[in-house]
């Protein structure tokens, strides 16, 4: 993909449905009794992988563009699935969350995926499912996963690593187990889409917080029964972040993003930009299908050369600890923003980025350096030295959709054209990305 520099972004856009919420809506609907109609379902390849796997497991699914109708009977029925594999594609979400469901069914399945997915760690879900009574064979903790389901035992499980996918896996298994299954984590440590969606479907879930210990407990009681329900998925905030960054960094920009998800476990990127002086307004806030939704307005202005960041902000912006966890999807993009900050940017506690679709720390550093930025790579993060005049360059998406989109934004700021090899990988999460970007770019 060739990207030319832009003067500004201007206009109004709507985005495809949130990927995380779409996965969960489909998987929970597959465990419900009756029909569920999901509108604005994500157009990503990842979510298509979830639907494909569910079809192989006997779930009735009608899928047309962003409309999905799922009719289920409370449990999966897959008499032939043990002789074939379920292809999760590039989707770690599909594999980790579906594993929890399969663990509670009395048949064997093989979960596999593409080359990237087969390198990703799965021991974090294997361990709790093993405690519940499932038998899972793997390649030293990596896919493919051979799951032999069983009647599961309820457990109380404290998350050893902050992961919404692991939490969801255990809770889904708990819906099929005998008794009360609990997952304990630090308050605010992970996204809460699963809890919200289970509540929306009327599943037996209880969420409590202990301020003294700063822990949150999510508990389900199984075997659970609940009924299908209609769901409207909000626009994907993680997709919106790329447009928000472009409007922030290009002076004179005026951008409106309508009907986007505003779940507080997802919007740390907004708060980080606001702390830097970016003008962001939220309108039409509401709760839709148990998720916060609204319209985001961003105005760019020329306060620091090519950015609207306060010129008085001269020390490095440091992101670490819980803030890093809350920004995990946006960190490569934030590194691009960091190249326009007078004091630069330091990212710590982000080692998890090395186990995504690619090593996102290495990929981010490699591409920033190609564009002329001074960047240091650390074991658990990176440091951008300060404001840089980016230049057009030959960039590599490294097979990672978020790297491709982050550096598409960087290319808009650069002097001269950039070429992004492997940019087709954006289809994993946002097939319409380049079309939507060009619809609001002015050159």
Confidence of residue 82 (pLDDT cuts 50, 70, 90): low
Q: Give pLDDT, residue 357.
A: 87
Confidence of residue 81 (pLDDT cuts 50, 70, 90): low
Is there a contact between 431 and 46 (Cβ–Cβ < 8 Å)?
no
Q: Give pLDDT, residue 301.
A: 64
Residue for token pair 């591409």: 367
**How do strand 418-421 and strand 279-288 relate by DSSP bridges?**
unpaired
Q: Which of 306, 228, 230 is nearest to 28 (CA)?
A: 228
Q: Which two tokens stand for residue 331?
A: 């960190």
pLDDT at 83 over 80: no
Residues 6+ apart with CB under 8 A from 368: 335, 336, 339, 375, 384, 410
Identical fold at 2-16+234-442 and 19-232?
yes
Q: Give pLDDT, residue 79.
A: 55
Is there a contact between 85 and 144 (Cβ–Cβ < 8 Å)?
yes
**How do strand 67-73 and strand 60-64 relate by DSSP bridges?**
antiparallel
Which tens digits make up the pLDDT trace of 263-317? 999 999 999 999 999 999 999 999 999 999 999 999 886 543 334 444 444 689 9
**Stretch 368-387: mean pLDDT, rounded?**
96
Catalytic site positions: 329
Residue 2: count other Cβ atoms within 10 Å of its Cβ.
Answer: 10
Which tens digits make up the pLDDT trace of 93-137? 999 999 999 999 988 999 999 999 999 999 999 999 999 999 999
Q: Give pLDDT, residue 309.
A: 45
Q: Which CATH code is given to the segment(s) 19-232? A: 3.65.10.10
Class of domain 2-16+234-442: alpha beta
**Residues counted in the chain:** 443
Domain spans, the chain? 2-16+234-442, 19-232
Q: Give pLDDT, residue 302.
A: 56
Q: Mean pLDDT lowest for which of 2-11, 47-56, 294-303, 403-412? A: 294-303
Is there a contact between 257 and 293 (Cβ–Cβ < 8 Å)?
no
Confidence of residue 80 (pLDDT cuts 50, 70, 90): low
Q: Angle between the 19-31 and 193-200 helix axes, to the nearest 10 degrees?
A: 40
Confidence of residue 23 (pLDDT cuts 50, 70, 90): very high
Q: Give pLDDT, residue 385.
A: 95
């Amino acid at each position: 993909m060739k990207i030319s520099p832009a003067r500004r972004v201007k206009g109004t856009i709507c985005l495809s449905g949130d990927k995380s919420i779409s996965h969960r809506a489909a998987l929970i609907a597959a465990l419900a009794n009756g029909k569920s109609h999901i509108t604005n379902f994500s157009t990503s390849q990842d979510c298509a992988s979830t639907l494909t796997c569910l079809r192989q497991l006997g779930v009735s699914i009608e899928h047309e563009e962003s409309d999905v109708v799922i009719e289920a009977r409370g449990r999966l029925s897959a008499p032939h699935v043990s002789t074939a594999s379920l292809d999760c594609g590039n989707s770690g979400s599909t594999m980790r969350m579906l594993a929890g469901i399969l663990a509670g069914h009395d048949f064997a399945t093989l979960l596999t995926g593409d080359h990237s997915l087969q390198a990703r760690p799965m021991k974090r879900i294997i361990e709790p499912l093993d405690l519940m009574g499932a038998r899972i064979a793997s390649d030293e903790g990596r896919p493919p996963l051979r799951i032999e389901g069983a009647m599961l035992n309820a457990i109380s499980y404290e998350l050893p690593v902050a992961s919404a996918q692991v939490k969801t896996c255990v809770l889904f298994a708990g819906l099929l187990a005998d008794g009360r299954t609990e997952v304990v984590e630090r308050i605010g440590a992970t996204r809460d889409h699963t809890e919200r969606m289970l509540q929306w479907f009327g599943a037996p879930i209880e969420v409590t917080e202990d301020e003294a210990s700063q822990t949150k407990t999510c508990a389900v009681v199984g075997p659970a029964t609940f009924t299908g329900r209609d769901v409207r998925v909000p626009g994907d905030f993680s997709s919106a972040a790329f447009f928000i960054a472009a409007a922030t960094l290009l002076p004179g920009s005026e951008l409106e993003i309508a009907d986007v998800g505003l779940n507080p476990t997802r919007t740390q990127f907004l708060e980080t930009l606001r702390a830097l002086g970016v003008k962001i307004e939220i309108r039409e806030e509401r709760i839709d299908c148990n998720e916060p939704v609204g319209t985001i307005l961003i105005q760019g202005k020329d306060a620091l050369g090519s950015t609207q960041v306060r010129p008085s902000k001269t020390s490095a912006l440091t992101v670490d600890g819980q803030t890093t966890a809350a920004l995990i999807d946006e960190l490569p993009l934030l590194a691009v923003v960091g190249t326009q900050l007078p004091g630069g940017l330091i990212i710590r506690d982000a080692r998890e980025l090395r186990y995504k679709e690619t090593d996102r720390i290495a990929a981010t550093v490699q591409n920033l350096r190609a564009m002329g930025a001074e960047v240091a790579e650390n074991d658990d993060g990176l440091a951008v030295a300060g404001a840089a005049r980016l230049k057009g360059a030959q960039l590599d998406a490294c097979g990672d959709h978020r790297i491709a989109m982050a550096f598409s934004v960087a290319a808009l700021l650069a002097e001269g054209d950039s070429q992004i090899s492997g940019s087709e990988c954006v289809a994993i999460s946002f097939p319409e990305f380049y079309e939507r970007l060009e619809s609001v770019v002015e050159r």
